[in-house]
Amino acid sequence: MPLDISTASQIAAKVAQGEISARNVVQESLTRARNNAHLNAFLHLDETGALAAADALDSLPPAEKLTKPLLGVPIAIKDNICVRGMPCTAGSKILAGYHPPYDATCVAKLRDAGAIIIGKTNLDEFGMGSSGEHSAYGPTLNPLDNSRVPGGSSSGSAATMAAGIVPLALGSDTGGSVRQPAAFCGIYGLKATYGRISRYGLISYASSLDHIALFARDVADLSLLLSVCSGHDRHDMTSLSDPLPPIPTQSNPKQIKIGVWQECLGEGIAPDIAATLERAQKALGDAGYILVPVSLPLTRQALAAYYVVATAEASSNLARYDGVLYGARHAGDNSMLEMYRRTRGEFFGTEVKRRILLGTFVLSVGYHDKYYASAMRLANGLGFQLDEAFSKVDLILGLTSPTVAFKLGEIVNPLQMYLSDVFTCPPNLAGIPALTVPVKLENGLSAGLQLMAKQGDETKLLAMASTLSAIMC
């Protein structure tokens, strides 16, 4: 009989009590991964290493097992996060064959907590995509409907969760790359405050926007994963030194004000998606919560600002992949410039080239102030608008995506694809925490409600996510 590996907390408790072995849990997880190979969710499955790690945990003294909150829990890691002994391609041919000699800080923390890394997951190349279709190693399929995308860029991690392969997964979120696939795949996705989780060991896309972010199937597991991964790191000067506060118990709903993001109620929202926000408002109102309309006018320009900032930083960060010091090299060239051109032309994908070119343009002489500096000013203005909103409300409720998961190959216009990030990029520009609460639809697909909180208020966010999930059932 297959093991129940739906929640991390249950697994850790049962392994610690000797009811099941870590080896059996990992074997079940690996079997599910093999049975779902058609999803193309994994780029590397480390069966030998995962089983060896499980055996090592099973041999620990009982007292030591109790100190590991993720004892025996299998976890999948997005393939732009460094894991010692495993490949790290960032979904790109230019990093094919690269094996990092170290663990990312969050990976080291997961190992210390007893988690077992079973493999590396597929992604849009260098995290640049909203569908999971822009990997050099082929698209990932959505387990809810194999004809549809799982969202991106953390497509593989989301798919492994939705397929029941692992109870936890890591992704990265630069403009919604965890929250949007969480919505499309029917799971929870959390992007914490910028700096809450160290970025050391994350392959950079846009450094001021990048976050290592979290997937789980329930709020309790999401909270547990956040507690393990968060904390100051001397390797990352942007990491926060403030400890994660405890999750509050919900007080009288009449004392909690929830802002309803008015820009999520406009045109361009699919009817079934708009209906989920209406249902949430009614459920919260019926439960006694105070609902307050909140308008964030600058969010109308946030998407444009995001793509200016993100591509500019990508142009800088990806300049290192030139065939000299990092990544693959095109052989047989007679000149250095020709080697650069052929290496980057052959090994970067179309979407990555597009964003590098856009970023190089907005940083060029005569255009820096017009585009990049203007985008940064808008981001700062958006931060002030959010600060003002949070002086009046405790949380803000909106949508994660304006649509359900679209069909594979349905969106070919890059600008139309970029619109998928319209509601998810503002929290990245402002550095605030945001969380997707999944909502099942009658057609078997999933939508996502997005909760946002002020910087440092992840635990308030998690508490409300738990309440919202309960009253929406």
Does a structural domain hold residue 442?
Answer: no
Q: Tell how many helices (H) and how many strands (E) occur in the chain.
A: 16, 11
- pLDDT computed for residue 384 by the predictor: 97
Does a structural domain hold residue 411?
Answer: no
How many domains does the chain fold into?
A: 1
**Cα–Cα distance measured from residue 169 to residue 158, given in angstroms and rounded to the nearest whole number:** 8
Considering only 214-228, 252-266, 342-356, which range has the smallest mean pLDDT?
Answer: 252-266
Over residues 376-381, mean pLDDT: 96
CATH code: domain of residue 142: 3.90.1300.10
Does a structural domain hold residue 158?
Answer: yes
Residues 301, 422: contact at Cβ < 8 Å? no
- pLDDT computed for residue 308 by the predictor: 97
**Cα–Cα distance measured from residue 323 to residue 325, given in angstroms and rounded to the nearest whole number:** 6
- pLDDT computed for residue 415 by the predictor: 92
Q: Does residue 169 carry a pLDDT above 80?
A: yes
Residues 264, 399: contact at Cβ < 8 Å? yes
User: In the chain, pLDDT over 90 holds for what percent of residues?
Assistant: 88
Over residues 406-430, mean pLDDT: 96
Structure tokens at 133: 């279709």
Which distant-in-sequence residues (6+ apart) come within 8 Å of 358 by Cβ?
307, 311, 315
Does a structural domain hold residue 101?
Answer: yes
Domain that holds residue 26: 8-229
Does a structural domain hold residue 125?
Answer: yes
Residues 140, 39: contact at Cβ < 8 Å? yes
- pLDDT computed for residue 90 by the predictor: 98
Does a structural domain hold residue 472?
Answer: no
Considering only 54-63, 135-144, 242-251, 422-431, which range has the smallest mean pLDDT?
Answer: 242-251
Over residues 308-334, mean pLDDT: 89
Does a structural domain hold residue 75?
Answer: yes
Q: Does residue 251 carry a pLDDT above 80?
A: no
Over the stretch 226-243, which tens digit does the pLDDT of each residue have?
Answer: 999 999 999 999 999 998
Q: Does residue 326 carry a pLDDT above 90?
A: no
The angle at the Cα of 181, spanning 261 to 32, to the nearest 5 degrees, equals 145
CA-based diameter of the chain, in Å?
73
Does a structural domain hold residue 281?
Answer: no
Calculate the alpha carbon distances from 159 to 125, 144, 345, 462 in Å: 16, 9, 30, 22
Q: Where residue 331 falls among pLDDT bands split at 50, 70, 90?
A: confident
Residues forming the active site: 78, 153, 177
